[in-house]
Structure 1
């Protein structure tokens, strides 16, 4: 009953003291250190100042510009003159004020989330623009203060007011403390800005001319003033005294470069040569973390405490995060410790069984600050050590090389049997131990010189790593591959009487990897399906109802251990936890403090060493972790999930740069409908340990599965309105509010508003066209019908005309036939006339010839005269010209234009030759032609010859055929 009251009072005190305990700094072990090299953040080596934005992004005044970190991505924003950024201040509305060489101003996100620089130094008068480096920026009484070595510039938003040190001296640094602005004047000493004037503070003569690197509030309404060379002083406004203690001596030796207040009782000092020194207000050094402890550089230029109460250091080469706000700290490589399999507190020392051997360090449970440095190796135990256990005030070591005992700090090998896993005291026989090793069991007995190896226990040769005694003295041993053995040993513990193997047939859900532990003086068996117990009455196993209710839904238990206060420590699925016993006897499961070590425990070799209320040691794969249960830490701190960048995949162009809030819905052309989203969680407590869930409203029906990826592509998005949402969840189960990015995929040009307007216009135009087309069609139809009627009429007319034409043609044909007949008739008449003319001429010529002969024989003149008269009359009858005229007239009638055509083509033809042509056209023989022409046949032949020549006929050409074809 008294114990329960004490526990109740303890928890009530914890409840009331929670706020004061928040952020306490652990001194045992080392906090987790995360180093970022310049290759990680792709910027300059040095960072001169650090600040955190309202969205939890971190900003660094870096050699290459303003360096930004959102928990995943690093971005650098250089100054226009590419100078080093020496100072920064997070202002209102996401403005980041920065100062460099002869340049200062602020970065402000534009509508696309791009950080745009706005210069304020450009508003200075020309004679004030050569001010050098800006080392400090403050917001002070509604004004911005920019401080360089040569001037103090106060900006009210419109104009500057500038103060210079007197006597051509220089300022060093300035400090804002409790809404007071102090300036280190190298000539005048420490001064304060009061009503626009610099007033020297009384009692600060001791540090005049010294470089002051930090001023912070200190308990008792005092101020802590850290100088680089003279150490730390405390100032109450009137008097200044040296902070003469362990911390001050260390800081003097290593020179302070920066200072930050961690909480009301702890301070962090950055040094030039020994990393960061963390002290309490009494001057005790709680931690000194340098390169030896895992820091990547010993020169600390800037110190900053983030919203999660962890330290960020700007180093001379790189950036580091130190997780001081954690109940867990690590003892590992930097302490000379490897993977740890067991631990024990023994005679003022802590011993660790590691993969390299047994190491130790002094341990004083009454000392408030138990800083653990480098552990010392027990050389005789080098090699794989498996276990450390204290029996009868002697520390035993289970080792790969055998069994050892440690007396007065010195190890002694007590057995050379290979591979001892561990030891168990025989119930009822405190002077006997059973040791389990790779090939069976050994017996040990307590003697004057400690524990002594007796013999091997015969009859069992299996590897015996994990075993326990039951109430009847039997040994239960778990074999990792075969199952669970129950071993009955002889009374003298020299040999095994009987063994029995248990597995699935006996009720266990599995045969392999069954854990055997003692809980509340009972043997329990840990399986993947929960906690089982053995029931002798049935010689079988069943799930324990008691422990099933205790552990509830905790599946996959692989280790349990009950401490002196009734808390039950356990491991499951490579995670650690503790069932904390409450004042009312119930239990509460606590796993949050151990989440940072999840996945780092040694499977089947887990262990916990609870020492007292403030000290618990837990083995992991690189050493041993120290856990302080009294360390109060909030595990439900909110964090922001941020959209870092949105880009178009096709063109690799950025449309949102991730700074500030989205100010308007983005309109994206349809041709750029492939988008890539980058996102991050500004959870500086869980860098790299946040998973994300995504949803694209308008595309996804539900949230996607949780994933550790920080980028997502969406391709071929149809037109429409979308909202991209992403939220994160850290390893402590804290879920962030979703970050959103709204955008609209515009339709393609052929589905745009203008296109639809054009379509509407074209539709109206089409309707109008159809209307007029129908009208035109009807008109055309009417016209066609009229034309058809006209065509019918015309065809009828044409038909009638054609018939008339045919009739006319027939008439013409008949006329032509008649003419042709007439021509034939006339030709015949011409031929007949010609023949008659020929006959007549022949007759007349004959008569003429006869009369000529008769005239020759007549002497009568009168008669001769009479005869000559007759001859003349005959000559007139055979006159060729007259006959030719008559012939020509008839010839032209039959053979139209023959003589005209031949005269046109052959104009050199004589009249006689034309006559010959006409006679030949009539196909009259040469003899008949001779009669007609009143010449001889020979004369006709000569005429024909001459005609051929004039007509250009060859010898083989027929003259008559030529005349007939002409």
Structure 2
């Protein structure tokens, strides 16, 4: 049955008036546990509060712990005692109480929380030990610290005492009233600094009161440790006989908190918490079995988004009560869910362990789902067709009735079933070996036959009036079944839908029409034209949507789709248009079952989604109240030597100036958004350094190194899991320049430059004058040098001329000597001839000559003899030879000092290329003597036999 547009509109208006603060009674909310190893503190957490920036604070055995969504920080009391209570005032002061110590933390100018003790105002002469402070109340302009013995009232920086009549237990604020429990006087109201006993309240003196809650008709609900719950009307106490009281009597109460004056959270010692309405009906129970890490709840707190924080005996828990999602997981006995359906008052769920059911009446009690008898194993699908419940199971096609399998229609494993168009008495099923036909008969649904001609398995198929469509192995199968439904009479495959649409994405039915999708383009098939044509209207719906993997239309016309392991939906509006919704499903990313999109829309408030670890319940009406803008905080700004903590309710920090030596900075980010923390993303830009905003990232830290001097502005945005962005958070700072680039340094540089210019100018002028002087001197020196050079050159020239003249004269003398040598040699030769003639003349008998001839002969002989004896050519020859070859003889003597004068003469004769005979004549020795002299000379000159003596002498 579909709702009309008017019904939907009325429903939305009514739900907008009533849904806020509603506790879902279906499933469990998201629970996030923080172990002591996460916050690195003690086990017990006694009290919780939240500041106006959204930071959470926990009173822990090891001190005060602060959580900003990204980072835990610890603050201790001076005596390091456990903190049992805390309260945050409007001024931002965090009042805390521990053992023998109480006071407040306040942020200093750098954002660090500094402790200020109030207990130092206590007169220690009268009060030795303060004991534990268990409760803190901000009552008007008073801050009241309650211990067992007394209350310490801090007002206008002074302290006064309120003594307990006997001994206080605990104290509570209910609306605008403050109540104390005294062990003998009962419950007492605090008014004008005095305690007024309440009538009829002493009946609870023998037990501890741990909680007081406002109720209708000015009544007060009182939760005791071991006596249960009581209603007090101002006159008497009456037991609150409800489901909640039965639970508290069994498990003991440790107080609680109210939710929007509609629901009460009750903490227990033994079994977690319960949430009940004002009639005491238990709406929800959360305990260790349901996901808490500990069953003893010491305190509970409702944050500014109506989410629940629990201080446990060991750890901390966050319960996302304000989410549109609740879950059925291991605590309900569910595992991976492939399909779900509501039928005849039961919710059935097909899982990998079998088919389970739970009673359904718009609420689900806390008990587990029950296995349908006979369905243990893989259940692929659960469907209602013609008011019959069919389970597609690994064991076969099963007909379900109530709590058991009433018939196994076919023993082959099945994936799902569909009605056959225009054949109302038949149902087709997809199994592990193709398709089967089931027929409706008088005995109910019966197996008819297996369709021959196709034996491939497929979990996704659709039917139109003429064809069965199946996607398998990247192919689209178009099959036609025979009239008797026993075989496929034609099978055709398609690789692409058109030339421009490559591949096959998915098959689905939208608006009762089979559509084929690829890359977000949707096509229909024309039987008449035998082709696929695009439906541009449907394609336009997915134009701005990421590439989808599969989709499904629910009973209300909403189109659900999967992309990148994430879920989205096009919610159909009353006007027929669609609204794309993505953000509420971000926390389901990665938990969806591959290839099995399981969406079960029962009505507008109840939508079930199958997950790998159970079943999610989604109420779209609650999503509207999650659309709140998150806050972004630059949580810390640090650089070498200092750190600033922002977001601690301190005054705004003015622009900071840091030295150049500390020009590496680190920022940490936070957003006190505690739902789906893993999906909170940050984007930042350091103005003055970054040219654009960074990509969105879950990283909550950023460092910059080696920043240049200048003004910087760190800007931060945060995006929560619903895709909503915050306003920008800004932190400005300035990096001072290094001393050598400081303004004073530049002024000094300017003065230095001016002085340098002035100094250089004077130096240049002096240099010019000096240069002119030296230039004059240099010119004078060059002139004198040139003049001296000219004189030297003239002298050298004259000397050269004289030398040339001397050389020329020497050459002439040598030439004369050579000429004389030649002439002398000629004379020697002549004398030899004459001596020969004289020698021959002696052989002539002159006696035979007449006197005149004899006279003439004797005259001739005397004349020849005179010519020979009178000639000095021989001595001249030796003299001239030595003159001509003086240099040669000098070199030879220097090279061979042992050479004799006769050997020098022989060397000279050999140099002059004289023959042995000539040498023998000159030296007046025989030819053999010449050869012997030559031999000795060669030996002295160390020549081998192959070397030429004359050639060697010429080379010297």
Change in CA separation of 1:25 and 1:326 when aligned onto 2, cut-off 3 Å: same
Could you tell me which residue of structure 2 aligns to residue 299 of structure 1? 296
- Judged with a 3 Å threshold, the aligned counterparts in structure 2 of structure 1 residues 447 and 414 are, in CA distance, closer, same or farther, namely farther
| Aligned match for 1:595, one of 577, 586, 591 | 586
2:681 equivalent to 1:682: no
| 1:122 pairs with 2:115 | no
Q: Which residue of 1 aligns with 2:736?
A: 746
Matches within 5 A, 1:567-646: 567-631=558-622, 633-646=624-637
CA distance in 2, matches of 1:13, 1:504: 44
Residue 473 (structure 2) pairs with residue 504 (structure 1): no
Q: Please give the per-residue CA displacement for 1:591-640, whole angstroms capped at 9, x wherever unaligned.
A: 44333323321232002112234322111221111123444641321222
- Aligned in 2, Cα 1:516/1:18: closer, same or farther, shift over 3 Å? closer
1:709 maps to which residue? 699
Q: 2:256 aligns with which of 259, 263, 272?
A: 259
Could you tell me which residue of structure 2 aligns to residue 410 of structure 1? 404
User: Are residue 149 (structure 1) and residue 125 (structure 2) matched?
Assistant: no
CA contact (8 A) 2:306 2:321 kept: yes
Q: CA RMSD in A?
A: 2.9
Aligned to 1:482: 474
Moved more, 742-751 or 379-388: 379-388
Q: Secondary structure at 2:200's aligned position in 1?
A: coil
Secondary structure class of the residue paired with 2:625:
coil
Q: Deviations over 1:13-48 (max 9, x none)?
A: 533552432020111111111111111111111111
Counterpart Cα distance in 2 of 1:324 and 1:505: 47
2:279 corresponds, among 275, 278, 282, to 282
Matches within 5 A, 1:483-562: 483-504=475-496, 506=498, 509-517=501-509, 519-549=510-540, 553-562=544-553
The change in CA–CA distance for 1:514 and 1:249 in structure 2 (over 3 A counts) is: same
Q: In the TM superposition, what is the alpha-carbon distance from 1:578 to its structure 2 partner? A: 4.0
**The residue matched to 1:504 in structure 2 has which SS?**
coil
| 1:728 paired residue number | 718
- 1:448 deviates by 5.6
Q: How far does residue 9 in structure 1 lie from its aligned partner after superposition?
A: 5.2
Is the contact made by 1:21 and 1:632 (CA closer than 8 Å) also made in structure 2?
Answer: no
Distance 1:17 1:451, change over 3 A: closer
Q: Does 1:436 align with 2:430?
A: yes
Aligned with 1:733: secondary structure? coil
Contact 1:475–1:486 (Cα < 8 Å) also in 2: yes
Does the residue aligned with 2:603 lie in a helix, a strand or coil? Answer: coil
Say which is worse superposed, 230-239 or 312-321, in terms of deviation.
230-239
Please tell me whether the aligned partners of residues 256 and 266 of structure 2 are also in contact (alpha carbons under 8 angstroms).
Answer: yes
Q: Which digits, 9 at most, give the CA deviation of each residue in 1:40-91, with x for residues without a partner?
A: 1111111111111111111100111110111011111111111001111112
Q: Hey, what does 1:271 align to over in structure 2?
A: 268
Aligned residues of 2:520 and 2:539 also touching (Cα < 8 A): no
- Tell me by how many angstroms 1:401 deviates: 3.0
- Over 3 Å counting, the alpha-carbon distance change for 1:748 and 1:35 in structure 2 is same
The answer to whether residue 321 in structure 2 is matched with residue 324 in structure 1 is yes
Aligned pair partner of 1:67 in 65, 82, 89:
65
Aligned CA distance change for structure 1 residues 430 and 778 (closer, same or farther; 3 Å): closer
2:331 counterpart (325, 329, 334): 334
- Aligned partners of 2:264 and 2:276 also within 8 Å: yes
Q: Is 1:387 aligned with 2:381?
A: yes
| 1:111-147 residue CA offsets vs partner (Å, 9 max, x unmatched) | 2222211111112222336211111122211121111
SS at match of 1:381: coil
For residue 380 of structure 1, give the secondary structure of its aligned residue in structure 2: coil
Instruction: Summarize deviations over 1:801-846 as a string: whole Å, max 9, x none.
Output: xxxxxxxxxxxxxxxxxxxxxxxxxxxxxxxxxxxxxxxxxxxxxx
Distance 2:580 2:348 in 1: 29
1:308/1:684 contact within 8 Å kept: no
Counterpart in the other structure of 2:162: 163
8 Å CA contact retained: 2:480, 2:488:
yes
> Residues 95 and 780 from structure 1, CA distance in 2 versus in 1: closer, same or farther, beyond 3 angstroms?
farther
Task: Kindly indicate whether the alpha-carbon contact (under 8 Å) linking 1:414 and 1:451 is maintained by their aligned counterparts in 2.
Answer: no
In the alignment, structure 1 segments of 5+ residues that lack a partner are 800-966
Contact 2:398 2:410 in 1 (8 A): no
**1:118 & 1:779 partners in 2: Cα distance?**
79
Cα distance, 1:768 vs structure 2: 5.7
Q: Show the counterpart of 2:416.
A: 422
Please tell me whether the aligned partners of residues 607 and 619 of structure 1 are also in contact (alpha carbons under 8 angstroms): yes
TM-score calculated relative to the size of structure 1: 0.76
What secondary structure sits across from 2:217 in the alignment? coil
Q: Quick one: distance in 1 between partners of 2:757 and 2:122? A: 69
Unaligned stretches of 5+ residues in structure 2: 789-956
1:345-364 equivalences under 5 Å are 345-364=342-361
Match of 1:37 among 32, 35, 42: 35
Matched with 1:860 is none
After superposition, the Cα gap between the structure-2 partners of 1:777 and 1:268, relative to the gap in structure 1 and judged at 3 Å, is same
Task: Give 3-state SS (helix, strand or coil) of 1:541's partner.
Answer: strand
* Pairing partner for 1:221 from 209, 218, 229: 218
> Is the aligned partner of 1:234 residue 2:231?
yes
Cα distance in 2, alignment partners of residues 655 and 766 from structure 1: 45
Aligned partner of 2:708 in structure 1 is 718
Q: How does the TM-score come out when normalised to structure 2?
A: 0.77
Q: Distance in 1 between matches of 2:670 and 2:26?
A: 33
Partner of 1:863: none
- Residue pairs, 1:807-818, within 5 angstroms: none
CA separation in 1, counterparts of 2:14 and 2:606?
Answer: 21
> Equivalents in 2 of 1:504, 1:129: separation in Å?
89
Q: Distance in 1 between matches of 2:511 and 2:350?
A: 26
Q: Which residue of 2 aligns with 1:102?
A: 100
Q: 1:484 touches 1:511 (CA, 8 Å); kept in 2?
A: no
Deviates more, 1:339-348 or 1:192-201: 339-348
* In 1, Cα distance between equivalents of 2:49 and 2:596: 43
Q: What residue number does 1:112 align with?
A: 110
Distance 1:455 1:53 in 2: 70
Tell me, yes or no, if structure 1 residue 457 matches structure 2 residue 451.
yes
Q: Does 1:399 align with 2:355?
A: no
| Other-structure match for 1:208 | 205
Distance 1:427 1:777, change over 3 A: closer
Query: Over residues 851-895 of structure 1, what are the superposed CA-to-partner deviations in whole Å (9 max), with x where a residue is unaligned?
Result: xxxxxxxxxxxxxxxxxxxxxxxxxxxxxxxxxxxxxxxxxxxxx
1:671 maps to which of 636, 661, 669? 661
Q: Using the alignment, how far apart are the partners of 1:619 and 1:732 within structure 2? A: 20
